[in-house]
Structure formats: structure tokens, C-alpha cells
Homo-oligomer: A and B are copies of this chain.
Amino acid sequence: MAAAVDLTTHPGHLARRLQQAHYLLWNSMVSEETTSPQFAVLNALVAEPGLDQRTVGMRVGLDRSTIAEVISRLIRRGLLDKVRDPQDGRRYLLRLTDDGVRTHRKLIVRTARMNQVFLAPLSAEEQSVFIDLIRRVADSAEGLRNPGEPLVAQS
């Protein structure tokens, strides 16, 4: 007997498809050079210039390895500068270049347009409900990190 599951009722599977759909829409409506995570980093540094790498990662939800890769690409493209913190030799302080500021400003308009298209299938009320629900699920799941004991129920 085929005992398959209906994946369209699995939030994780839907989350993956949602993210992929967003990736494609971003590519066609916002930028082919600057990705959504890269924009998030630029945005975080516009809000708080001079943050260190790890803190930027926390702001945008990227771990230490991933944020290092994203930042190195932004630096390679000249959108970002990094200098040692004179107060703490472990840290690098990050700051946008003029080019980085310009890129960020240009993309803000396009992301707004893309968000509209992305959420267009939902009514205005549904859109705010959607944002609220997805945020609550994501926030709560992020709080579930490393509880000491593995979450796998032993059989």
C-alpha cells in the first residue's frame, strides 16, 4: 500500500517553496546582482553603521559562517568596508561605502514593489494576518535552539 503524505499540508515544505518563489521573484523584480540576504546586510548597516560581523548576522538571521561569506562578497563588490576594532582586536567593524549606500537606496523602491506583487493574491487583511502568523512561527522556532537535550523523542 502507498502510505504517502500530503506535503501541501506540511508547513516546512510550504516554507521552502515560498522561499524559492521569493528568490525567483527577487531575481526578476529587484536585482540579479544583489541577493535578498545581501540587501538585509546592507539595510542593517544603514540602520546601525559600524556593527561587527557577528551582530549583523544576528540582526538579519544568519550564522557566523554564512554572514562571513555574504560580507566577503559585498566587500569584493566594493559595497562594504571592514576594519579591525581598535578596542577589541577580535572584531571587524563594518561600514557601507558610498556605493553601498547608493545600492541600498536604489533597491528599497524595488523591494517595496516586489512585496506588493508577492502578496497580491491576498487581501489587505489577509496580508497583515500572514505577516503576523509567519513572524510568530519563525520567532518561536528560533527560540527553540539548543535546549541542551535533543528534541528527538526516543522511540
Q: Which residues of A contact B (CB under 8 A)?
A: 2-5, 7-22, 24-26, 28-30, 36-37, 40, 43-44, 46-47, 60-61, 105, 108, 110-111, 113-115, 117-122, 126, 129-131, 133-142, 144-145, 150-153
Q: Contacts A144-B117, A151-B28: A36 and B13 contacting too (C-beta < 8 A)?
A: yes
Do residues A133 and B129 form an inter-chain contact, with CB atoms below 8 A? yes
**Which 9 A-B residue pairs are closest in the complex by CB-CB distance?**
A21-B141, A4-B47, A121-B140, A12-B22, A4-B46, A19-B19, A17-B138, A18-B138, A28-B151
Known pairs A2-B46, A29-B152 / 15 extra A-B pairs, C-beta < 8 Å: A3-B105, A5-B111, A7-B60, A8-B135, A10-B111, A11-B118, A12-B19, A12-B114, A12-B115, A14-B131, A14-B134, A18-B137, A21-B138, A126-B133, A129-B133
Specify which chain B residues have a CB less than 8 angstroms from the CB of A60 in the assembled complex. 7, 13
Shortest A3–chain B CB gap in Å is: 7
Q: Which one, B20, B137, B140, contacts A61 given CB within 8 A?
A: B20
Specify which chain B residues have a CB less than 8 angstroms from the CB of A8 in the assembled complex. 135
Do residues A130 and B12 form an inter-chain contact, with CB atoms below 8 A? no
* Nearest neighbor of A26 in chain B, beta-carbon distance: B12
Q: Which one, B11, B43, B139, B150, contacts A5 given CB within 8 A?
A: B43
Do residues A7 and B43 form an inter-chain contact, with CB atoms below 8 A? yes
